[in-house]
Structure 1
Amino acid sequence: MAAMGLSSEAVERVSQLWGKSAVRNGGRTHLLLGHLLDTAAVAAEMWDRYVSAAFRRRLDEVSGGRGRLWFMWVCGIHDCGKACPAFQAVDAAEAAPVLAAGLTWGRLPTNRRRRWRHDVAGAALLLPRMVAEWGSEEAAGWVWPLVAGHHGAFPSVCDIRPSHREVQGRGASWEEAQRAVVDVFTRAVGFEDFADVRPVGALRKAEQLALSGFIVMADWIASDSSRFTGLSDAKLVSFGEARRRAQGAWGRLRLRGGWRDLPLPKKRLDPLTGRLGVRPRASQQELVERAWAMPVPGLLVAEAPMGEGKTKAALAAAEVLAARFGLHGVFVAMPTQATSDPMYEQVLEWVRTFEPELESQVALLHGRRRFNAWWRAIWEGEPRPGGDGCGCEGGASSGGGPDEGEDDFGAIDEDAWYGRDPAELPSTGRGADPAADGPAHWFLGSKRGLLAAFAVGTVDHLLHAATRTRHVMLRFAGLSGKVVVVDEVHAADVYMRQFLVEALRWLGQAGVPVVLLSATLPPSQRQTFVDAYVSGALGTDVHEPVPEPAGYPCVTVAYGVGGRAVAETSPEAVESWRESVPVELAWLPDVDRAGARVAEAVRRSVANGGVALVVVNQVARAQAIYKELLEGGFDGSLHLLHARLCAAHRADRTAECLCLLGPHAGEDRPHRMVVIATQLAEQSFDVDADVLITDLAPADLLLQRIGRLHRHSGTRRPDAHRAPRVLVTGVTAGRDGVPRFLGASEAIYGKWSLLRAAALVMEVAGPFGGEGQGPPRSSWSIPADVPELVATAYGDAAVCPPDWPEAEAWERRQAAELKRAREAEEFLLCRQREWASPTLEGLHYAGSRAATEEQLDAVVRDGEVTVEAVIVRRVPGGYRAHDGTWLGVHGEVDDDEVTDRLMGGTVRLPPGLTDAAQAELGPLPGWAGRPWLQHRSALVLEEGGTRLLGTDLVSYDDVLGLVVERQ
């Protein structure tokens, strides 16, 4: 250090500054310079082995060709603010050598509001030097927030002014020491001096957010005391030593990126024909060709009928986009947990075709992934699932979609062990070798899931990256460098769309290609998504009209290039893989929650054989219809699916339905079968029914449900079901012929969309008379009519008869949607008026009220906070799991197999029980110290199988699921 022009006093003082206290660092003090160099060394590993080529190119551009060096510097400099009294005084034992070296301080404030944090102290320390020595306020303006925000929130510039003159350090000795810390570190990593660090350009705001996430990632890795042991002797601190430590830690953590230098496919359709092994359909070929044609990263919107193969085409397009633009992974966002599981297995199979070892880099992101057999095999070392490919073994697992507006995501508190050395993890009892090649458990820690190279999960994770919450930069860093695929994008309601639009704007600016998939996308939503992405890409609000598609299927492409917006659609009609067929619609007027009339219609529809799918909008109605059929002696295979089944039952039933009615059913397809389900069956549920009975829903969702009807080619059907037929129920004629809907339906969807859907059905099914009474034209042509039906349902033209209260319902809908959109603004990542700001300064201007993952899930779905509980039965002498497994006197769990059985009883409680559950439920005493259980609530059912929760009587029936009786 003396050779760097520092006085001996400065050298002594810098060598005493601590960065990690012994108390919090495994018993060994770690000097500040040591931690800065460790973090820079980790950054070097990230650059070489993790960061995408596209992001490396951008850093090279803004640093004058020294991207790797600059990345190391900006990651390592993050903690320079610890060289101040406010931090050095935190630990009295660590402070003693600092005081002895001559770095003293007076009385420091103890008021929490006046506490001076080291992240803002670092910005306060660096900003004047950046302006003075770089000679550029612009460069200083976008770099200092990266330092100030490394603890998860970006302050405004006024927040980096000390509120007390002692906290930052007064006098020449502190000034010299602080300059020395920065200078010594800067030269150690390879720059000549601080002025030499000056960037020659600026990253765009979204790129800054991604870079901030990488800084946090490097800091978190370098802060692991089990891999970076404390060094309290300055003679042992060097960048060479830090590189050695970082290389070892990186290898032991098994961290890696995804594709490295992914080559372009030799033939344009190889990603489809070779890797995915499909005979390309016209719509699939169109999407891949559009990916080849885009001159820059952009937005692709693929609209095609249900069962067209959109997701496989999206994966093929993702390979093309990644190879062309230097990206290293993919995130596939699905609407629910249930749809995420089969997609995870599909992505696993696809990723293996690039490199078998890449399967260990595919993360499944939802709270019930423990019940996915493939996830457990790869991430926990269990035996790999077998099966015949139909989904009965190791196929579909837990999860499912929201019923009655319930939030889907069920977070599990895994922080107790995620991110630790695999050797330190709770024993799986399955002989996993911590030293062998395998998955990087570090990526499974809180907020880190999207950092895995490949990920499949609920769309919530994409929406979380558009919220103004702590550590949002980690989520966004995980999206940068990837291709983002969003399936069933139409499923986002007006509230969720605020976050989706915000995410598209940031992704557009970050140059992240996005592929949106839908069978039933209203034109107005397509336009909104295009405008958001292109506005982000161009850095200004843009409205680029999307041309009317020539037909259906179609692909829309949007991007910004050369300062102009481009939006194109397929110039010619794209042929669908199957011919359109007439689907007959008829009314089954019924709004009785008991569902007796629906049950009778089911019996008649399959009296001579066949498969009926019943989709209703309320769990209690599904349970009642099932009971009617069961108690009436239904002669056939009967299944019930809804979101209030425990995880194990839901997984088993979903797998069985997919096996019996999926694309590989073959001879196993039953002669007579009925599936009664809630909304979870309306999308990405790959079953083939002969007849559909469904509660009325908005037109796009009604069409999604129809997509389960006559879905697979080659299915053998009884003569009575040669033509697809739909009975629409959940509605009846009210006064003056105005339709009356189920209360649950109106609460979920609103009256306007139901009125419009009812009017469209009435055009072919006739008025609300007896079942089957309709006009001469009693069918829709599917899929040909889908775009027109969706556009009409959400268009401006009047659809309903004049005496229906459509205008009144529309006004209420508009007011409600405006209110929900404004409520979403409170949590959006950036206020609209601040989008043009070029830096991250002040991004977290008011933080977010969301304190937990569960609360954040409710934020992005505009739902009430819900609670997941584990069903436990009290028996003489102790407790048993839902399946009868003995737990112990206090609920003790001895091994992971018992944990799995117990967790299979996880069920999400309806929102109406949340307050009572939070007040009354908690973990059993025997769950203390068990990572998967210690924060879980137990729903303890007494010996009679029931319990009062609040004022409601709750029970769990192995067939019906959770039953709630209002008292």
Structure 2
Amino acid sequence: MSTPHLHRYLWAKFDGASQPYPLLAHLLDTATVISLLYQHWLRKGLRDLLAKELGSRAPSILSFLAGVHDLGKANPYFQAQPRQHSAQWKAFRTELSGHGLDISADLTEIYIDHQELRRHENISVCGLNWSVHQEDKITTSWAPMAVIAHHGKFSIPKIFDGLISEDLEDSLAETWPLLHERIIDEVLKATKLDSSDDIPPVSPEVGILISGLLVLADRIASQAELVESGLEQLQTEALDLNAPEKWAAVRKDECLALIEKTVGIYHPWPEEELADSAILGGYPPRFTQEKAVGVGDGLWNVMAPTGSGKTEAALLRHSRRNERLIFLLPTQATTNAIMRRVQKAFQGTHNVAALAHSLAVTEDFYQQPATVSEGTREYNDHDDHYQDTGGLYPTEFIRSGASRLLAPVCVGTVDQALMGSLPSKFNHLRLLALANAHIVIDEVHTLDQYQSELMEILVKWWSATNTPVTFLTATMPAWQRDKFSQAYTGFSSTSPAQFPTVEEWSACGNSAIDIADIPTECYAIPFHLDRGEEKDLVRRHAEWVRTQRKKFPDARIGVICNTVDRAQQLAVELEDFHPVVLHSRMTAEHRNQSALTLEKTIGKGGRTRNCLVIGTQAIEASLDIDLDLLRTELCPAPSLIQRAGRLWRRQDPERHLRVPGMMNKELNISVIKHPTPGATLPYLRSLLQRVENWLERRKEIKFPDDIQDFIDQTTPSLEALMAEIDDDAVASELNSDLQDKIAESSQTITSRSQARNVRIKLDAVLQDDAKVESLVGLTSQDSVEESSTRLIDRPSIRVILCDSGGEIPGAWEADPTTLIAIRGRDTTQLRRALQGSMSIPDTSRFSGLKDRTISLGDAKSLLRGYYALPMNPGEYDRVVGLLGEG
């Protein structure tokens, strides 16, 4: 067979194209794209890592691998597509046969009998005369494994064990091996390699990174826009398949523009001074912010009080790094709030960005066009298409799923990263995204034992890839800090946890940790422990509010309850005070309205007086609000410190007008007398007892002197907790306190055990002598739900409330069954539907509501994980949220 026949008739892409797109053309496109991703999308640290192991020919090796990834499409089954029965396909098969390609039924039936033969990636490896077995080392078999995994999963096909190789040999006959050789020769010409034997061994982490990069290159090269353009240029002979060595030069600019249009290339601030101005808003930098600009590689752990400018410090560190940013937070509400701040900071840049959480499509960020005009690039106020997006804009390519982590700027929930610690299809692409950015994780202390075990895996991955990481937290238990320190440095910490400090941890095999104390103004928060029976909690909350309102008519008052039920009951009791309520049992739109109201009225710059806020844990880490007076139910020390951080958050010249005579902030803490085991939920009784014991020995909490002791004494490690149990068991018989501690330790052990059972076995993969069978575990599942990143002990179901009367904020007003018809690309309708979403407890109390739900499992969008819930009058209140059946 002559070269023109090869180029003209073997095809790779047809779906959606005007005609079949030649196989070699797609391979050369992919080779071009991956070389550009290497040069322009990978951060310098990863380029250096790949170059160190691949040598000076790294771009050529990557291009060759991308150029042969679909080699296996040159097989009779793929080319013939025997299951396609349209007249178009019949005519196309006749044409292929007429040019001497054997695609007879005798050959294609062999493929039908063997599923592994129908996977063209397996044939690619065979066509390259490569093979892979479970006992082979990753270091020497990374290339075939990368080719196999370009459709999502690492696997070890039986085809390489000789079980079906005879059938394969018969199916290929003489023609197809010659075609494989011809394609390989053409790719070698294009990439300037001598042979496929020029691929050196690499470390497992580099093999994983390249595997992910190959997936991304294939996705971009498969865009319909590039395929159609290629077809046109082949017809005009601007592109020539007979000159593969010239292909990249012709396609370079177009492919680079497509990368920018799809995944995006990071563009830093033009000058450091502009970055400082955008991030600090003209204010002088504080100590932590000054330190940030001098931080190099490694993990920077910032433990500083609430309101000390940690967010700006992280952004300032990033402003000195020409690389992507992934900013992760504990909740959707904090994510949305930080996205607005990040947009403001990046004003004056031009970057593709993504907002990453399950309800992101409902946010305003995704209501701007998914493409950007040239006028926006220059901030042309006269352009009719101009929108002030803060320098950030979305694209369709990175609008959903794990692809959002690929954006130059991504703000998401921490769950988006934690999914990388779980085995799932395309996990190598997620791990690449997480290594190819500066990672910032805020409120690290909110990670529980289960999530901390998952995070430990990611910290090890970041250490292996020398990824820059910034941890932000107002509090961090010693056990958690030591776990992450050891995971990143490889050594046990030799210094105790201190607050407030900034620490630099090195991933270069050095146990030394650079620690700097943060100069902090010392102050104390006096507190009052108000003990009462559980049944009287709501009444006592209400009495406190009325007393404070009578004393301070203009005060901003807040009450934080530990349960939604108590928050709702209190809001009803105090309805004459017109409270703003925020908790989880509200529609997404209702929560958003409440959050925006609070940020506008008592957030930064807000000047509202006479305000009452009632909520749950959603308030403690979600809102940048400033309260004058606060009452909170007893909670774990980290949460208590966070809640206290809503008090007197800023220097406010009008505060003395709202609370005249108050010289300092004070905290009122409600404590349940003699609680029954279930009375302290969602917290364990033993945990709250330690907090109460610590507090009752004091009259005030001193900042910062008391904070680390408060955290460590009330949030012990498992080892410390077991020691307490041993001491108690020796001192007394089994009592309620000892039972509580045993239950607490059991919960901790269970959480750790479950996390270790489900997370990927990264330690085994990263060993120098790791076997390829360990790679399979990275991608063993088809998909991972976002909820898998949290240990759910109180099951719930996701619903979309439906209310034809339009009384419920955000509820779907049309027939519930119309939700099923919404398509995945109809973002306007998806946004409208998800505004009415929420989770309801899967308990007997809500069984009546659950019985009325309509499954959306047949939906062709992300709504398939939801249920439609038609609502009756009286079941939802516009102020306090879902009440239940009327």
Answering whether residue 574 of structure 2 is matched by residue 574 of structure 1, we say: no
Corresponding letter in the other structure for 1:356: T
8 Å contact kept, 2:567–2:616: yes
Answering whether residue 739 of structure 2 is matched by residue 827 of structure 1, we say: no
The separation in 2 between residues aligned to 1:265 and 1:28, in whole angstroms, is 50
Corresponding letter in the other structure for 1:814: S
Q: How far does residue 629 in structure 1 lie from its aligned partner after superposition?
A: 1.5
Alignment partner for residue 945 of structure 1, among 861, 866, 873?
A: 873
Alignment partner for residue 685 of structure 2, among 728, 742, 751?
A: 751
The separation in 2 between residues aligned to 1:335 and 1:261, in whole angstroms, is 26
Partner of 1:277: 282
CA deviation profile, 1:322-358 (whole Å, cap 9, x unmatched): 2xxxx51111101111001121111112222xx4323
Answering whether residue 713 of structure 2 is matched by residue 792 of structure 1, we say: yes
C-alpha spacing 1:286/1:47, structure 2 compared with 1 (3 Å): closer
SS of the counterpart of 2:421? coil
SS of the counterpart of 1:724? coil
Partner of 1:60: 51
- Indicate the structure with greater helix content: 2
Superposed, which structure 2 residues align to 1:192-231 within 5 Å? 192-195=194-197, 197-199=198-200, 202=202, 204-229=203-228
Q: How far does residue 840 in structure 1 lie from its aligned partner after superposition?
A: 8.0
Q: How far does residue 545 in structure 1 lie from its aligned partner after superposition?
A: 1.6
CA deviation profile, 1:618-646 (whole Å, cap 9, x unmatched): 1111111111122xxx4x44111111212
Q: How far does residue 192 in structure 1 lie from its aligned partner after superposition?
A: 3.2
8 Å contact kept, 2:80–2:93: yes
C-alpha spacing 1:479/1:564, structure 2 compared with 1 (3 Å): same
The separation in 2 between residues aligned to 1:686 and 1:437, in whole angstroms, is 22
Q: How far does residue 961 in structure 1 lie from its aligned partner after superposition?
A: 1.0
Q: How far does residue 364 in structure 1 lie from its aligned partner after superposition?
A: 1.2
CA deviation profile, 1:881-930 (whole Å, cap 9, x unmatched): 856997589859999888765543333333446998599424599xx89x
8 Å contact kept, 2:542–2:570: yes
C-alpha spacing 1:711/1:872, structure 2 compared with 1 (3 Å): same
Partner of 2:879: 959
Partner of 2:192: 190
Answering whether residue 603 of structure 2 is matched by residue 662 of structure 1, we say: yes
8 Å contact kept, 2:418–2:455: yes
Answering whether residue 626 of structure 2 is matched by residue 688 of structure 1, we say: yes
8 Å contact kept, 2:155–2:776: yes
Partner of 1:808: 739
Partner of 1:41: 32
TM-score by structure 1 length? 0.77
Q: How far does residue 177 in structure 1 lie from its aligned partner after superposition?
A: 2.8
Partner of 1:560: 507
8 Å contact kept, 2:328–2:412: yes
Q: How far does residue 9 in structure 1 lie from its aligned partner after superposition?
A: 6.2
CA deviation profile, 1:556-593 (whole Å, cap 9, x unmatched): 211133x44332322xx4211x3312322312324238
C-alpha spacing 1:274/1:356, structure 2 compared with 1 (3 Å): closer
Partner of 2:310: 310
SS of the counterpart of 2:550? coil
CA deviation profile, 1:113-168 (whole Å, cap 9, x unmatched): 6554222332344363899xxxx987642222111111111124767446423246
8 Å contact kept, 1:209–1:840: no
8 Å contact kept, 1:216–1:474: yes
8 Å contact kept, 1:866–1:909: yes
8 Å contact kept, 1:121–1:160: no
Alignment partner for residue 350 of structure 2, among 354, 357, 361?
A: 357
Corresponding letter in the other structure for 2:713: T
8 Å contact kept, 2:852–2:870: no
8 Å contact kept, 1:883–1:901: yes
8 Å contact kept, 1:468–1:830: no
Corresponding letter in the other structure for 2:710: L
SS of the counterpart of 1:687? coil
The separation in 1 between residues aligned to 2:812 and 2:761, in whole angstroms, is 50
SS of the counterpart of 1:300? strand
Answering whether residue 569 of structure 2 is matched by residue 624 of structure 1, we say: yes
The separation in 2 between residues aligned to 1:687 and 1:481, in whole angstroms, is 34
Q: How far does residue 468 in structure 1 lie from its aligned partner after superposition?
A: 1.1
CA RMSD between the two structures: 4.1
The separation in 1 between residues aligned to 2:847 and 2:460, in whole angstroms, is 34
Task: Between 167-176 and 490-499, report the one with greater CA deviation.
Answer: 167-176
Answering whether residue 718 of structure 2 is matched by residue 712 of structure 1, we say: no
C-alpha spacing 1:653/1:502, structure 2 compared with 1 (3 Å): same
Answering whether residue 440 of structure 2 is matched by residue 485 of structure 1, we say: yes
The separation in 2 between residues aligned to 1:499 and 1:697, in whole angstroms, is 24
8 Å contact kept, 2:582–2:614: yes
CA deviation profile, 1:434-470 (whole Å, cap 9, x unmatched): xx99643212143200110011110011111222110
Superposed, which structure 2 residues align to 1:361-510 within 5 Å? 361-377=352-368, 379=370, 439-510=394-465
The separation in 2 between residues aligned to 1:934 and 1:137, in whole angstroms, is 41
Q: How far does residue 521 in structure 1 lie from its aligned partner after superposition?
A: 0.3
8 Å contact kept, 1:870–1:936: yes
Answering whether residue 455 of structure 2 is matched by residue 516 of structure 1, we say: no
Partner of 2:11: 18
Q: How far does residue 55 in structure 1 lie from its aligned partner after superposition?
A: 2.5
Answering whether residue 549 of structure 2 is matched by residue 606 of structure 1, we say: yes
Partner of 1:597: 540
CA deviation profile, 1:590-610 (whole Å, cap 9, x unmatched): 423872232222222332122
Unaligned runs of 5+ in 2: 84-88, 374-383
The separation in 1 between residues aligned to 2:315 and 2:406, in whole angstroms, is 19
CA deviation profile, 1:520-554 (whole Å, cap 9, x unmatched): 101111110011112xxxxxxx33324135x5320
TM-score by structure 2 length? 0.83
Answering whether residue 476 of structure 2 is matched by residue 528 of structure 1, we say: no
Paired positions, count: 831
CA deviation profile, 1:494-535 (whole Å, cap 9, x unmatched): 11111111111101111111111111101111110011112x
The separation in 1 between residues aligned to 2:538 and 2:392, in whole angstroms, is 55
C-alpha spacing 1:918/1:866, structure 2 compared with 1 (3 Å): farther
SS of the counterpart of 2:208? helix
CA deviation profile, 1:14-60 (whole Å, cap 9, x unmatched): 7543323x4x3435222322221121122233234323233233333
8 Å contact kept, 1:34–1:231: no
Q: How far does residue 170 in structure 1 lie from its aligned partner after superposition?
A: 4.6
8 Å contact kept, 1:142–1:839: no
The separation in 2 between residues aligned to 1:437 and 1:698, in whole angstroms, is 38
The separation in 1 between residues aligned to 2:684 and 2:448, in whole angstroms, is 12
Corresponding letter in the other structure for 1:569: I
The separation in 2 between residues aligned to 1:612 and 1:829, in whole angstroms, is 46
8 Å contact kept, 2:538–2:566: yes
C-alpha spacing 1:624/1:860, structure 2 compared with 1 (3 Å): closer
Answering whether residue 143 of structure 2 is matched by residue 143 of structure 1, we say: yes
Corresponding letter in the other structure for 1:184: E
Task: Between 821-830 and 866-875, report the one with greater CA deviation.
Answer: 866-875
The separation in 1 between residues aligned to 2:371 and 2:271, in whole angstroms, is 34
C-alpha spacing 1:884/1:908, structure 2 compared with 1 (3 Å): closer
